[in-house]
Amino acid sequence: MKQVAPWYEPPSRRTFSRRVIPSLYESVRDMIRALLQAATGRKIAFTSDFWTGGHHGYLSLTAHWWQPKEVLEPRTSQEQLQGEPQGSTPRGYRVVLLQAQSTEDNAKGFYIAEVLKTAMRVGIGD
């Protein structure tokens, strides 16, 4: 940045951790909630994945749905987040990673179920 804009003073680490990151998180969360609430017919499929790497386990929750072309706006928030659909992904197919987190690599089914229930409540909004 010193070469491009020597006068620019980047925000401090404290400013990033207390203001910038929480603000970004809230705006993305609100955008994703709006996308989920606008899903045609509110038919959303959820998939999860659990995998291990080293001594850590990881758990993710993803939402998938179809948004017919006739109800899409010219540039939806989803397209702003991930760009235009590419390759063989049909226009109107939506996918959002709601949560990915580290867990114990030997997590039991009850624990996994509770994590997924919590993630779905937060993702959709109680």
For the chain, the structural domain boundaries read 13-124
Q: pTM value?
A: 0.65
What's the token pair of residue 96?
């959002």
Judged by average pLDDT, the poorest of 8-12, 66-70, 107-111 is 66-70
- Average pLDDT of the segment spanning 33-55: 83
User: For residue 100, what are the β-bridge partners?
Assistant: 60
Answer whether 94's CB lies under 8 Å from 62's CB.
no
- 89-104: pLDDT as tens digits: 667 788 888 888 888 7
pLDDT score at 126: 42
Q: What is the mean pLDDT of the chain?
A: 78
How far from 20 is each of 49, 63, 89, 101, CA to CA, in Å? 30, 26, 33, 21
Are 104 and 57 in contact by the 8 Å Cβ rule? The answer is yes
DSSP string, the chain: -TTT-TT--PPPHHHIIIIIHHHHHHHHHHHHHHHHHTSGGG--EEEEEEEEETTEEEEEEEEEEE--GGG--SS-HHHHHH-S--TTPPTTEEEEEEEEEEEETT--HHHHHHHHHHHHHHHH--
What is the per-residue DSSP string for 61-84? EEEEEE--GGG--SS-HHHHHH-S
Max avg pLDDT among 41-45, 58-62, 92-96, 113-117:
58-62
Tell me the range of 39-43, 82-86, 112-116 where mean pLDDT is highest.
112-116
Please check the confidence at residue 116 and state whether its pLDDT lies above 70.
Answer: yes
